[in-house]
Amino acid sequence: MAAALLVGTSRYFNYHTTVRYIDTILEVGQGQKIITQVQTVLTLLVDAETGERGYVITRQERFLDPYREAISRLKTETDKLEALIRNSPFRRQHFSRLRAGIQLQIRFLDENVSLVRQGSHNEAVQRVISGEGKRSLDANRLLLSQLRRAEENDLARQLLEVESMEERNKRLNLAGVVILALLFAGGLLTIISNINQQDRLREQLRKENQMSQELNRELHIRLRQLYDAQEIAQVGSFRTAPGSNTFTGTPELFRIAGWPTELAGKPADTGLFYNSLSPDDARRILSYTGETTPDRQSLTATFRMRTGGGDQKQILIKARIRAEGEAAPVMEGTVLDITARKRFEEELQQLNEELRATNEELSSTVEELTAAGEKIQQYNLILEEKNLQLERLNAEYTDLYENAPVGYHSLDAQGRIVKVNNTELQWLGYTREEMTDKPVAQFLPAHQAEDLKRLTPELISKGMVSGVEREFRRKDGTVMTLLVNARAEYDEEDNFVRIRSTLTNFTELKAARQLLAERTAQLEQTNRDLEAFAFTISHDLKAPLRVVVGFTGMLKEEYAGKLDDEAMRLIKVIEKNSIQMGRLVDDLLSFARLGRTTVAKATVDTQSLVQEVLTEQLTGPGSEKYQVQVGSLPVVTADPRLLRQVWSNLIGNAVKFSAAVNAPAIGIEASRQEQEVVFTIRDNGTATTLPTGTICSGYSGGFILPMNLKAVV
């Protein structure tokens, strides 16, 4: 009885320890699941943060795909984590802080995405750069890490408890066996063989019990590992029950399909699965399970599924189909969510097409660059030729500057010579080193150096001076007069920086000007003498002419009856030529007065002026026989009084010298030649050449005015 009681007590403690051992194993699995779920939540947070950052920086919609995927799964995975830790008050408190942090991070990410969509890209970038999102992620990562470490510590503690319980169970069993052996050895030698048999049975039972526990534990671990692996790989599995319209699926299958995960591992109606597929896909999969033939023993196909949340997904099903007796064929296989992969494949295909187009554009660009390179080579040849031309021009410019017929020098802001050409050096007899960096006042007389100080501010203010005479001291001590033209130069800020001067050898020009002034004075005196002589000669000639005309008249009156016809003709010739000589003298007097007359120019209508002069000249007897043709005459700028005298003289000559012909004719016209107007007067009388080259009667060309008459027009 005592032995039976001892064995029962041993079995009781053994059973109690085994139950506790199994519970601990289950808690270990729960802890591993929490750790895995913590890692999943952290991965989603990182994906959301990465997608949001990529979209804010690049503004490309494809970066929002991982962001949307993470946000859509984050609540579900967070709820799973909360369900796993609901039995731990400490973890629930820790999780409350975690959920608040996750909500804060999601709100921050959503605000950044909204800012980009609203056009406030720079503000969103500044928020990303500020690191607020990273700090929120780091805070959530820290909370998740703390939760994970807590679970890992509990897991280690539970494993120690499992090992301790296992050792305690071994000791208890050993103690029971030893006590039982002593009891049987002391009192029941006769049943030693039976006791030994019981011991062997007990040992076998213990081993079987231990093997059963190990198998259960191994099965639980393997099942948990399978679930975890499926969750990580996002691959679910299922098996239909033979003879019924039910199937059993793993938690990951239910998560992929969006079904309640608490139904995982339990028989579910196959209608739930078929109804989630499109009608065509449901008919396809039913056609496989309708009968089992050698060509339908396996299935690998892509199907379209609508999840419990209303999302559209593409799944890949790989399954085996086999018959079990008379029942309907059984299907068992895996379900893989390939939605993201399909999307990435489409994006990859699009990228490949874009890359192909880019390659084509690149090939075209390479061809254009090759053509551009050939053009550049041509341009380089042209540039080399231009450089040679530029070098030649530079050499010509240098030669022109250094050996110009004028002197050049440049002064800095302090009045020092910074550049001087060879011509100026040769004029003054200095070397370049003797003049460079020296004040220009050093080469001027003292009074002109002081005058230079006075004129320099004026030059800087006006920007230019010209025609300034300067006496420069040569190296041999002599003085050279130069005519200086100077120009001030300024920088971009309008600050005075330098003076550039051009110097002309004024020594010979000054002497020539002085000589010209003397010759001009002599010429003016000569002209005055000539005018006085002409005036005197004109007056002196009129006296004998009056005597000749007077005596000729007396001969005609007193001796008309005594002289024959020939004598009377000769008297008339003398009288006529004397009168003509008087007119010539009057013209000479008018000519002399014209040189002393001041010209007052005005606008003159030559058409009207010529008509007035013709009317005056053709008023006497016989004027009706003249044929006068006047062309279109222009309006000119001239002295009206003097121009009238010119026309009066010219028309009077034409009338006088054509009077002897039977049908006298006079023609007047004008023509423009470049910057002047040429007037032409013609008549059909005897040709006469007037002084100073003025051609009138009988001349078919124009007339040339003397210098003093040209001043009239």
Tens digit of each residue's pLDDT (9 = 90 or more) over 576-621: 788 777 777 776 666 666 656 666 789 999 999 999 998 888 877 7
* Residue 697 predicted with pLDDT over 50: no
Give me the count of residues in the chain: 713
Q: How far is CA 648 from the centre of its chain?
A: 78
Rounded average pLDDT over 558-575:
83
Hey, what are 484's tokens?
A: 């200086």
Tens digit of each residue's pLDDT (9 = 90 or more) over 499-538: 999 988 877 777 777 888 888 888 888 777 777 776 777 6
Hey, what are 594's tokens?
A: 């014209």
Of the ranges 322-331, 467-476, 533-542, which is most confident?
A: 467-476
Residue 419's closest CA among 502, 485, 477? 502
Report the mean per-residue pLDDT for the chain: 79
Partners of 671 in the β-ladder: 678
Give percent of the chain above pLDDT 70: 83
Residue 161 backbone class (left: φ over 0; alpha: ψ -120 to 50; beta: rest): alpha
Of the ranges 69-73, 423-427, 580-584, 700-704, which is most confident?
A: 423-427
Rounded average pLDDT over 470-480:
89
Using an 8 Å Cβ cutoff, are 674 and 682 in contact?
A: no
**Helices 640-657 & 606-617 angle (0-180, nearest 10):** 40
Residue 687, SS3 per DSSP? coil
Start-end of H helices in 596-636: 606-617
pLDDT of residue 411: 92
Start-end of H helices in 403-465: 422-428, 432-435, 446-462
pLDDT of residue 90: 60
689 — pLDDT class (breaks 50, 70, 90): very low
Tens digit of each residue's pLDDT (9 = 90 or more) over 102-123: 888 888 888 888 888 888 888 8
Amino acid (1-letter code) at residue 614: L
* Residue 225 predicted with pLDDT over 80: no
Q: Comparing 10-19, 35-44, 432-441, which segment has the lowest mean pLDDT?
A: 10-19
Residue 663, SS3 per DSSP? coil
The answer to whether the predicted template modeling score (pTM) of the entire model surpasses 0.85 is no
pLDDT of residue 160: 76
pLDDT of residue 213: 81
Alpha-carbon gap, residue 182 to 694, rounded angstroms: 178
102 to 89, 111, 165, 208: CA distances (angstroms)? 20, 14, 40, 50
pLDDT of residue 417: 94
Alpha-carbon gap, residue 544 to 85, rounded angstroms: 158
User: Is residue 582 classed exposed, middle or buried when 0-12, 13-18 and 19+ CB atoms within 10 A define those classes?
Assistant: middle
**Helices 89-117 & 64-84 angle (0-180, nearest 10):** 160
Hey, what are 73's tokens?
A: 């799964």
